[in-house]
Amino acid sequence: MTITITAFERSPDGGKGLARDTRVRWALEETGRPYDVRFVSFKAMKEPAHLCVHPFGQIPTYEEGGLCLFETGAIVFHLAENHAGLLPREGDARARAITWMFAALSTIEPPILELQTAMFGEGDKPWTKERLPLVRDRIRQRLGQLSDRLGDSEWLDGAFSAGDLLMVSVLLRTRPSGILDEFPNLAAYVARGEARPAYQRAFAAQLAVNAA
Amino acid sequence: MTITITAFERSPDGGKGLARDTRVRWALEETGRPYDVRFVSFKAMKEPAHLCVHPFGQIPTYEEGGLCLFETGAIVFHLAENHAGLLPREGDARARAITWMFAALSTIEPPILELQTAMFGEGDKPWTKERLPLVRDRIRQRLGQLSDRLGDSEWLDGAFSAGDLLMVSVLLRTRPSGILDEFPNLAAYVARGEARPAYQRAFAAQLAVNAA
């Protein structure tokens, strides 16, 4: 059955790989699944046809036969569960890899999203200049803890997993602010993720759309 | 094998069920698993012994034999995957229920956490009074979309699932602000969750600790 995902017609980052479709493209490439992409404009994203597929009016979504999913984490998990390459088979190792999936999206990403909201959603507010350092410090706190846990390891828990895929993707969003480079082991971890052939294919595919 | 979770020695909410151990207790009760609780003080939570178990210095954690997990979403998923009652067996329905787990934690909860940070982490800042309405409106936007999707349904997708367990738990955190009651179908949905015998047992168990 054909897999169809949705992505931005024009990505807000101009194709630097920070939009969430890159995460799903990467998981598809790691598991060797071909896929089609349906592009959605910002306007169409908030219209009933897309809201049927994604109740929060975002991308990406995932369609395969009669199955229709939203939420990047759930899509990556669905791929990881049904194809080899993204989750260990042994039960305890699998549960720990899934833990890192949730950690990426529920613990590490929220303060990063808060910085984006502070910069773009409240950029014109009188408090923003004074408030931004506080928001950045909350990201640093989490990244410091993650850096301590990762140490010198190649990946978060044994072999590369869907947990690393999501964590690298989330951390990439801290590079423009310079915060990622304050943690050399995390910066090297992200670079290892980016060096994977599957990531390179995913990145190139979304860049090609945005550079066109 | 004995299951041991961690919880606050003293919950910041005084036992109103908003701390994350309630979510894990609820999942344990839904799946009929007995468990022990190890209580952790705010001080101990940031010390090396606990950081070994939870790299971000939080509760809850989950220990069973040699397995040690953190992240509420991952713990609830682990229970749902290994015991009946929290995930449909049929593949597509299961994937959709997992989607709601991620939606609760990755899409609905972040703006709710932002309000908590604004009130408690930045409560003394000169901008807070003017900024709070913006933060509340971002919660309203998400809850409006969720309300539209839920409509008159009893649960988010067919029978009660781990997706509903997490969504109800997350929405409970919007009740103190009054925002939950602005969406009558969501308030009724949360009340249905709270009426479940497993929730009542979980709530009573954590309240007993905090009322002692």
Q: Is A110 on the interface with B (CB under 8 A)?
A: yes
**pLDDT at residue B10 tops 80:** yes
**What are the residue ranges in chain A where pLDDT is below 70?**
none
User: Touching check for B49 and chain A: CB below 8 Å?
Assistant: no
The CATH number of the domain holding residue A40 is 3.40.30.10
The answer on A108 and A62 residing in a single domain is no
Could you write out the DSSP letters of every residue in B85-128? TSS-SSHHHHHHHHHHHHIIIIIIHHHHHHHHIIIIISTTSTTH
pLDDT at A120: 92
Helix (H, G, I), strand (E, B), or coil: what is residue B67?
strand
Q: What is the pLDDT of residues B161-202, one digit of tens each?
A: 999 999 999 999 999 999 999 999 999 999 999 999 999 999
Domain shared by B128 and B112, yes or no: yes
Are residues A99 and A149 both part of a single domain? yes
Q: How far does the CA of residue B85 sit from the closest CA of chain A (Å)?
A: 19
Same-domain status, B73 and B149: no
Mean pLDDT of chain B: 96
Residue percentage of chain B with pLDDT more than 70: 100
Residue A135: domain span: 91-196
Phi and psi based region of residue A161 (left: phi greater than 0; alpha: psi -120 to 50; beta: remaining): beta
Report residue B116: phi and psi, to 5°.
-65, -45
User: Based on the domain organization, do A186 and A95 belong to the same domain?
Assistant: yes
- Identify the CATH number of the domain in which residue A154 sits: 1.20.1050.10
Output the pLDDT for position B30. 98
Which residues numbered 120-159 in B keep a CB inside 8 Å of some CB on A?
Answer: 121-122, 125-127, 130-131, 134, 138, 142, 145-146, 148-149
Average pLDDT over residues B139-161: 98
pLDDT exceeds 80 at position B5: yes
Structure tokens at A85: 């390459």
pLDDT the model gives residue A71? 97
pLDDT tier at B1, thresholds 50, 70, 90: confident
pLDDT, tens digit, for every residue of B12-71? Answer: 988 999 999 999 999 999 999 999 999 999 999 999 999 999 999 999 999 999 999 999
The string over A163-188, giving b where at least 16 C-beta atoms fall within 10 Å of a residue's C-beta and e elsewhere, is bbbbbbbbbbbbeebebbebbeebbe
Interface probe for B, chosen from A96, A102, A157, A173 (most Cβ of B below 10 Å), is: A102
- Do B41 and B102 share a structural domain? no
Co-location of A66 and A117 in the same domain: no
Instruction: Please tell me whether residues A80 and A168 are part of one structural domain.
Output: no
Do A19 and A112 lie in one domain? The reply is: no
CA distance to partner chain B, nearest, from residue A200 (Å): 26
The number of domains in chain B is 2
Residue in chain A closest to B96 (alpha carbons) equals: A69
- pLDDT of B212 > 80? The answer is no
Residue from B104, B12, B19 nearest B59 by CA: B19
Structure tokens at A57: 């009016």
Looking at the structure, tell me whether residues B192 and B203 fall in a common domain: no
* Confidence at residue A212, expressed as pLDDT on a 0 to 100 scale: 76
Examine the domain organization and report whether B128 and B190 are in the same domain: yes
Q: Do A95 and B102 touch (CB under 8 A)?
A: no
- A188 with A203, same domain: the answer is no
Whether A77 and B149 lie within 8 Å, measured CB to CB: no
Token digits for A182? 């304050």
B46 touches chain A (CB under 8 A): no
Q: For residue A147, what are its two tokens? A: 């850096």
